[in-house]
Chain A
Amino acid sequence: MTGPIKDDALLRASGLAKIYGAQIGCFDVGLELWPGEVLAVVGESGSGKTTLLNCLAGELTPTSGVIEYRRGNGPMRNILEMTEAERRTLQRTEWGIVHQNPADGLRMTVSAGANVGERLMAVGARNYGDIRSTALEWLARVEIDTGRIDCRPETFSGGMRQRLQIARTLVTRPRLVFMDEPTGGLDVSVQARVLDTLRGLVAELGLSVILVTHDLGVARLLADRMVVMKDGQIVEDGLTDQILEDPQHAYSQLLVSAILQA
């Protein structure tokens, strides 16, 4: 639906479906993500957006379809045909995930510094001094008091935990980041600041992002393009301002009017 397919896409899904018994998770999904682009997947809960994200991120095996990804400057490859080991390497080196619940992306019983350092060690860092200084740098970048580096995230507020998860995810400089309601569990006042941090980092690092959110305000702030999902299918895709100001599909119109008038 986004026009001619150019061959420099970073990620492309086609004919993607995930069926749970008699239940449709997502169906006939096609989308493309370009390098440096932020694509928001919006829809109500139950619309299939998280199922779609988990399929794209390699966390869930789709029932059918193709998901292609371009590793480095190589050709597009179907990630569903990769070995488990190859997929894990990809997830560790080129991809990152920011979960809605920070506890899903953090280890709550080790220090903040270790949470950040672990990801670095997973991609080969060995020098303790370097790892610690990089961890300190990243805590500062996400606006966590560096004096808290040896504290466990259990002792952090929700906003701080989310910031720590962001630092842990981005420290290895992934190219592609999957975000599932990254500010969904936070108070509104905290949400704005976390969004702000995220937006700054996305621009600065030139990240490609697939962002799942039910909050059109979050999509407006972060995304270049949006896809709208309903009952497991994409009903509309377009530029973020186009979908927010002149939605074409009946469901997009309902979604936009409901949320902006609230």
Chain B
Amino acid sequence: MFAALDISDLAKQFTLHMQDSAELPVIAGANLSVASGECVVLSGPSGAGKSSILKMIYGTYPCTLGSIRVLDGDNYVDVAMASARDLLALRQTTVGYVSQFLRVIPRVPTITLVAEPLVRRGADLTSAHDQAASLLQKLNLPERLWPLPPATFSGGEQQRVNIARAFAHPMPIMLLDEPTASLDAENREAVVSLIHEAKRRGAAILGIFHDKDMRDRIADRLVDVTAFQTFHSINAES
């Protein structure tokens, strides 16, 4: 089994220029790899740096030290060294990220938002809409909501739109940052089956799920991030 995602000696430290350049270390010495078809769940108390790890993999947070190797086609790309342009390309083809917050353009109908990732990658409008419709159906979003923009939807409904968008295009690596935080049991079940489907097609999944039941259903392994807090190593080098 080969790693789709391989993190080594990763560290993140924020420098707060507005607080006298205070240094705020969140992660140090993180080592972790996720194989294709595997689901790994990060555990640890809030503030332990779980989201920071996902954001470093996605390129939202620059890494302070270490490497994040991502399998892109037949080659590994080190996200820690990648240019903005390489990161945008990776997001297009390889790495998907879904948070608990839906951030989309106002006024656009839900069905169009869910079809958009497919259309952007060249799918024709009809098949993209069909696929979007089938995802929204799986996630139990009432059909009367599909033509409406999600701005006025409940938190749980918005999360399902977000999940549908993220799963519309099959990404080889998926980063899930508590995407099910406001879902009830029935809708979590729908997400569990989407995740199982993604694993079967070979996706490597790294996620954060606070719900224990959810974790037990999807995780092949838990990785405790409190092990990644050996901060003295950073301070010694700086």
Contacts and interface: CB of A to CB of B under 8 A. Distances in A.
Interface of A: 2-4, 6, 34, 192-193, 196, 199, 203, 221, 224-225, 237-239, 241-242, 245-246, 248-250, 253-254, 257
Interface in B67-86: 82-86
B107 A245 contact: no
Contacts of A253: 16-18
Nearest to B56: A246
A250 B17 CA distance: 5
B146 to A, nearest CB: 19
B51 to A, nearest CB: 10
A203 B84 contact: no
Contacts of B88: 224-225, 239
Contact of A4 (B60, B61, B83, B107): B83
18 contacts: A3-B85, A3-B86, A6-B85, A34-B85, A192-B106, A196-B106, A196-B107, A199-B105, A239-B60, A239-B88, A241-B60, A242-B61, A245-B60, A246-B55, A248-B15, A248-B62, A249-B17, A257-B18
Nearest to A224: B88
B55 A239 contact: no
A2 B85 contact: yes
B105 A221 contact: yes
Most buried by A among B17, B86, B88, B120: B17
Given A245-B55, A253-B16, A238 B84 contact: yes
* B contact residues, range: 20 to 34
B59 interface: yes
Nearest to A247: B17
B107 A193 contact: yes
Given A241-B60, A246-B62, A250-B17, 10 more contacts: A2-B83, A3-B84, A196-B107, A225-B84, A242-B59, A242-B84, A245-B61, A246-B55, A248-B62, A253-B17
B64 to A, nearest CB: 11
Interface of B: 14-18, 21, 55, 59-62, 82-88, 105-108, 120
B105 A239 contact: no
B65 to A, nearest CB: 15
Most buried by B among A3, A196, A237: A3
Contacts of B87: 239
A254 B105 contact: no
Contacts of B21: 250
Contact of A242 (B62, B86, B120): B62
A45 B208 CA distance: 41
Contacts of B105: 196, 199, 221
A12 to B, nearest CB: 13
Contacts of B15: 248
Most buried by A among B61, B84, B108: B84
B61 A239 contact: no
A49 to B, nearest CB: 19
Nearest to A238: B84
B62 A3 contact: no
A257 B62 CA distance: 18
Contact of A250 (B18, B55, B62): B18
Given A237-B84, A245-B61, A246-B14, A203 B107 contact: no
A257 B82 CA distance: 26
Nearest to B82: A3
Contacts of A193: 107
Contacts of A248: 15, 62
Nearest to B19: A253
A227 to B, nearest CB: 10
Nearest to B106: A192
A203 B16 CA distance: 36
A205 to B, nearest CB: 14
Nearest to A39: B84
Given A3-B84, A253-B18, A257-B18, A239 B59 contact: yes
Contacts of B120: 203
A246 B60 contact: yes
Contacts of A250: 17-18, 21
Contacts of B106: 192, 196
Contacts of A3: 82-86
A6 B105 CA distance: 31
Most buried by A among B14, B83, B85, B108: B85
B20 to A, nearest CB: 11
A238 B62 CA distance: 10
Contacts of B62: 238, 242, 246, 248
